[in-house]
Amino acid sequence: MKTIQDFNFENKKALIRVDFNVPLNENKEVTDATRIEAAKPTIIKVLEDGGSAVLMSHLGRPKGVQEEYSLKHIADKVSDSIGVQVKFSENCIGEDAEKMVADLEPGEVLLLENLRFHKEETEGDRKFAEQLSKMGDIYVNDAFGTAHRAHASTAIIAEFFPNKKCFGNLLAKEIESIEKVLKTGEKPVTAVLGGSKVSSKITIIENILDKIDHLIIGGGMTYTFIKAQGGAIGDSICEDDKQELALSILKKAEAKGVEVHLPVDVLGANAFSNDAETQVVAVDKIPDGWQGLDVGPETIKIFHDVLMKSKTILWNGPLGVFEMENFAEGTIALGKSIAKATEQGAFSLVGGGDSVAAVKQFELDDEVSYVSTGGGAMLESLEGKTLPGIAAMEE
């Protein structure tokens, strides 16, 4: 599995698949440049070697060519980020684009137009991939966020670069971080899984039970487990048809020697609202008309103690409705505990949309070991699936 460090790009044109699918406001300005910043080390390595970089990405889900999804809107932000004026090509394939690539001097950067303006990209069309392959000498995949899709620019294009393909710094780091959790991490390994539904986390739980020592369960899926065990959950969210499944997870965990930690108390509310009345109650004694929207103080302590003993930590999903200020305490406390464990030498990986949003919102992203840039791709990795974008690089 070659990385960008295995190549010298002197006088070479690196065709880099980046993930610049970034949020824009109504003025078409980038509101979160995390993904652009994440690609910077890879781009800089190419330029410092004396090569040039051709960047390709998608943005949104356009239906054909739609001006609001043009990557020209982000070109200035990319220039600011990497400190080099970025040129822009109004197409990602064709004669004009090929000429711009041919004219590129060492140290220069060219951004190609949105790949998804061509339906062939998402169809994984081989001919389209071949046209893209003309845009560089060496193919670098640095887009973890799209590695789980068998698209032309991620899974198909690699075959046109049999000995000249590698992972960028970002993608290599993502793979290494997930392997630390699933294979090479120091024990004890703890997985914290939150979010609202057991059903969306089932395959992850089943895949990681052999690799972990502790499983902390929080968020809305708590109540499916508690109800399955005969607890009273009031009006809390619950997947009634997943109760048997919840019990079977607990049995499997016990058989494998994995300690499962469920909340013991919750912050209950009499409505799904930040202004609702609240009370701390036992997790299995929530009164009718009330619902659990965050974990309680006793649970925060228990989870903290587990994390302090952990050497490898995976966090995917919040413990409560952290978007509402009054129900964010559990998620903030969890983030702080993980940060403290990290400070004491643990390796911590945070991934999945809501957890990433939480660590950023509460400014804990620099206090954990690694924040994943790919939601769906990370989840599929944790489920044990082989990602097409990664498999293509190993062939």
Catalytic annotation, residues: 35, 197, 353, 376
> Tokens 């990681």 appear where?
208
Determine if residue 149 is labeled as part of a ligand binding site. yes
- Beta-bridged to residue 87, according to DSSP, are 110
- The response to whether 17 counts as a known ligand-binding position is no
Nearest-angstrom CA–CA distance, 52 and 108: 5
For 235, residues 6+ apart whose C-beta sits below 8 A from its C-beta are 286, 288, 289, 290, 291
64 is in an annotated binding site: no
Q: Annotated binding residue at 121?
A: no
Q: Is 112 annotated as a binding residue?
A: no
From residue 18, how far is each of 60, 102, 276, 380 by CA, in Å? 14, 20, 44, 19
352 is in an annotated binding site: yes
Assess contact for 183 and 52: CB atoms under 8 A: no
Residue type for position 200: S
- 80 annotated among ligand-binding-site residues: no
Exposure string (b/e) for 36-57, b if CB count within 10 Å is 16 or more? bebbbebbebbbebebbbbbbb
Q: Was 353 annotated as part of a binding site?
A: yes
Does residue 316 have a known ligand-binding role? no
355 has binding-site annotation = yes
Is 228 within 8 Å of 218 (Cβ atoms)? no
Residue 323 labeled ligand binder: yes
Residues annotated within the binding site for (2R)-3-phosphoglycerate are 35, 116, 149
Residues annotated within the binding site are 19-21, 35, 58-61, 116, 149, 201, 292, 323, 352-355
Residues annotated within the binding site for substrate are 19-21, 35, 58-61, 116, 149
Residues annotated within the binding site for ATP are 201, 292, 323, 352-355
